[in-house]
């Protein structure tokens, strides 16, 4: 079968949601994944392994790290998870400027690997970029997306507190995780010294108390194992494999096809619409055309840009929908370059249990309601945690020394930043004119970098973070810029941005290409700016909203 009502390209967080919504409404949907099949429970080979069951105790041999200089910098890449990552040489790209492109080619994509932190955008994120003159106005606002945030939160399962913050709106929450005693102390002291800086427990996609909808999905309570990147045998955290894809399959309307590399979207110049996609079998290299009335592009930000740039026709010689020449431009990401560490000498008789899947968060307090002339534009969210490791800092001998090693060491505190970067035309991706990947598709050239605004923001974070830790009584506080490359945040966005004006954007308010209305882009590529929150919840809400709009337009025979 090659004819469907809808085609969804990519089975990660947003693609899974597109498939679920379309199938629930009766559309025969083809979900294309370029990687291998991964079935929930069945294909999590390391999910229950103990450290001693790994030949290298979880670490990777030097030869593997040397072969993967990009991957080796990713926090989640290790012996227990490497099968969910794309080796550096498997899908080459050209770094005109250093960019760490982290990819997961399998059913579920990076939803198997994400950090699971979920915050809604506030009105400030939607309104601030145009207010501050760094980007055209978003075509939607918080009120447009709020009901769709609720829609996906209830289904996915998000834990958190009702904190009542205008800069971080509340959602549909399961019971929250708790701060440990040292984190609670630091949070209280920060809010005592800085009343305008609320500190909250993180909100994350983990089932602290499964509801009937989650039981129907076959999922169970999160066990706080902190092995999420291996795949969860309990279904305790949200991913496409355990949740949206099985739900879509139950309708009988889904065809899931792995090993399907989409080379281009096919444009019909008679109808002024896309008619389908050209797929290359990842193993045999055989090509097949599949056709549908609507197409959702959810290949993950940079691959979505690559696909649209490679979808050329006489109508669109520079890539599908690219009349204004902006496709691939205004790539944005999150600034993670600031870090602050220290020690806390209190609570020597206290410890904590379990491996909580979130940290303590401090929502943005910079340039929030207006530009504040701080020397940089936009703002940052901060996150911190306090923990006690093994007591290895002492010397000794004999049984007393051995016993002392079983006691916890001092409290170690660390804080990081997640800052908004400014959309810039020069931050872009484009196709190589002469170098191809293993499937004969042009390699992607990345030309994305930090700028002076990012450096100044990191300096401010390091200064403010250090002051907050010191105000809370922490000792030996030090801060530094880690100088990590763009991409390692794994929050790349933009290139196919939404907007009201076809001259300055590619997508309208419903995530449709302005000039090819039956093609929707709802992954990170659609973002007009980054905000400073984790982006995945917004991708999911945008996807659900766009899919339901597409369904209504199909009923009206507009698509």
Specify the pLDDT at position 402. 79
Q: Which two structure tokens, joined as six digits, stand for 170? A: 């509340």
Specify the pLDDT at position 1. 81
Q: Is 161 within a domain?
A: no
Nearest to 11 by CA among 25, 39, 32, 29: 32
Whether 483 has a pLDDT exceeding 80, the answer reads yes
Q: Which two structure tokens, joined as six digits, stand for 477? A: 């506080």
Percent above pLDDT 70 for the chain = 99
Q: Is 129 within a domain?
A: yes
**Based on the structure, what is the number of domains in the chain?**
1
Specify the pLDDT at position 405. 77
Non-local (6+) Cβ contacts of 371 within 8 A are 131, 132, 377
Task: For residue range 161-201, list pLDDT tens digits in order.
Answer: 999 999 999 999 999 999 999 999 999 999 999 999 999 99
Residue 392: pLDDT band by 50, 70, 90 thresholds? low
Q: What's the mean pLDDT in 517-536? A: 97
Whole-number Å distance between alpha carbons of 344 and 342 = 7
Q: Is 470 within a domain?
A: yes
CATH assignment at residue 32: 3.50.50.60
Long-range contacts of 212-221 (CB under 8 A, 24+ apart): 213/154, 213/155, 214/157, 217/242, 217/243, 217/246, 217/247, 218/242, 218/246, 219/157, 219/243
Mean pLDDT for the chain overall = 96
Q: Which two structure tokens, joined as six digits, stand for 450? A: 């930090």
Cβ–Cβ under 8 Å, residues 380 and 335: yes
Q: Is 13 within a domain?
A: yes
Q: Is 423 within a domain?
A: yes
Residue 301: pLDDT band by 50, 70, 90 thresholds? very high
Q: What's the mean pLDDT in 506-524? A: 98
Q: Is 164 within a domain?
A: no
Q: Is 165 within a domain?
A: no
Percent above pLDDT 90 for the chain = 95
Whole domain around residue 456: which residue ranges? 3-156+170-555
Whether 393 has a pLDDT exceeding 90, the answer reads no
Question: Which H or E run contains 281?
Answer: strand 273-281
Q: What's the mean pLDDT in 20-30? A: 98
Q: What's the mean pLDDT in 116-138? A: 96
pTM, full prediction: 0.97
Q: What are the E-state strand segments in 27-108?
A: 29-32, 94-95
Q: Is 494 within a domain?
A: yes
């Amino acid at each position: 079968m090659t004819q469907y009502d809808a085609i969804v390209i990519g089975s990660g967080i947003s693609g899974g949601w597109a498939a679920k919504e379309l199938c629930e409404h009766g559309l025969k949907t083809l979900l294309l994944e370029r990687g291998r099949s991964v079935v929930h429970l069945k294909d999590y080979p390391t999910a229950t392994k103990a450290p001693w069951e790994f030949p290298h105790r979880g670490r990777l041999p030097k030869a593997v790290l040397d072969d993967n200089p990009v991957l080796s910098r990713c926090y989640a890449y290790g012996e227990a998870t490497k099968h969910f990552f794309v080796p550096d040489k498997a899908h080459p790209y050209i770094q005109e400027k250093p960019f760490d492109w982290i990819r997961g080619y399998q059913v579920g994509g990076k939803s198997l690997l994400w950090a699971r932190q979920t915050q809604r955008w506030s009105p400030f994120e939607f309104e601030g970029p145009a207010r501050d003159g760094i980007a055209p106005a978003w075509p939607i606002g918080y009120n447009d997306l709020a009901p769709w945030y609720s829609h996906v939160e209830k289904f996915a399962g998000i834990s958190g507190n009702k904190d009542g913050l205008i800069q971080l709106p509340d959602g549909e929450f399961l019971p929250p995780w708790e701060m440990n005693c040292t984190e609670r102390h630091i949070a209280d002291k920060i809010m005592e010294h800085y009343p305008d800086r609320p500190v909250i427990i993180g909100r994350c996609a983990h089932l602290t108390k499964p509801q009937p909808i989650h039981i129907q999905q076959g999922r169970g309570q999160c066990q706080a194992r902190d092995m999420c990147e291996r795949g969860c045998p309990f279904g305790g955290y949200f991913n496409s494999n355990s949740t949206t894809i099985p739900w879509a399959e139950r309708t009988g309307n889904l065809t899931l096809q792995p090993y399907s590399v989409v080379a281009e979207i096919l444009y019909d110049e008679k109808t002024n619409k896309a008619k389908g996609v050209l797929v290359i079998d990842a193993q045999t290299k055989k090509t097949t055309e599949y056709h549908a009335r609507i197409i959702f592009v959810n290949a993950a930000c940079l691959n979505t840009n690559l696909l649209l740039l490679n979808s050329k026709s006489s109508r669109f010689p520079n890539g599908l929908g690219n009349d204004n020449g902006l496709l691939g431009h205004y790539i944005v990401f999150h600034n993670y370059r600031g870090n602050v560490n220290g020690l806390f000498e209190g609570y020597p008789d206290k410890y904590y249990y379990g491996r909580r899947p979130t940290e303590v968060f401090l929502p943005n307090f910079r340039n929030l309601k207006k530009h504040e002339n701080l020397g940089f534009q936009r703002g940052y969210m901060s996150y911190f945690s306090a923990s006690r490791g093994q007591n290895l800092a002492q010397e000794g001998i004999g049984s007393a020394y051995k016993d002392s090693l079983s006691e916890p060491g001092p409290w170690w505190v660390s804080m990081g930043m997640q800052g908004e970067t400014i959309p810039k035309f020069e931050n872009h991706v484009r196709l190589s004119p002469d170098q191809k990947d293993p499937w004969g598709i042009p390699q992607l050239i990345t030309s994305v970098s930090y700028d002076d605004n990012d450096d100044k923001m990191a300096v401010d974070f390091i200064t403010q973070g250090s002051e907050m830790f010191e105000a809370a009584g922490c000792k030996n506080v030090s801060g530094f810029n880690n100088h990590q490359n763009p991409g390692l945040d794994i929050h790349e966005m933009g290139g196919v941005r939404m907007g009201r004006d076809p001259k300055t954007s590619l997508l309208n308010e419903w995530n449709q290409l302005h000039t090819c209305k039956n093609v929707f882009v709802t992954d990170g590529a659609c973002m007009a700016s980054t905000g400073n929150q984790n982006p995945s919840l917004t991708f999911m809400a945008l996807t659900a909203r766009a899919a339901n709009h597409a369904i209504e337009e199909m009923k009206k025979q507009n698509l």
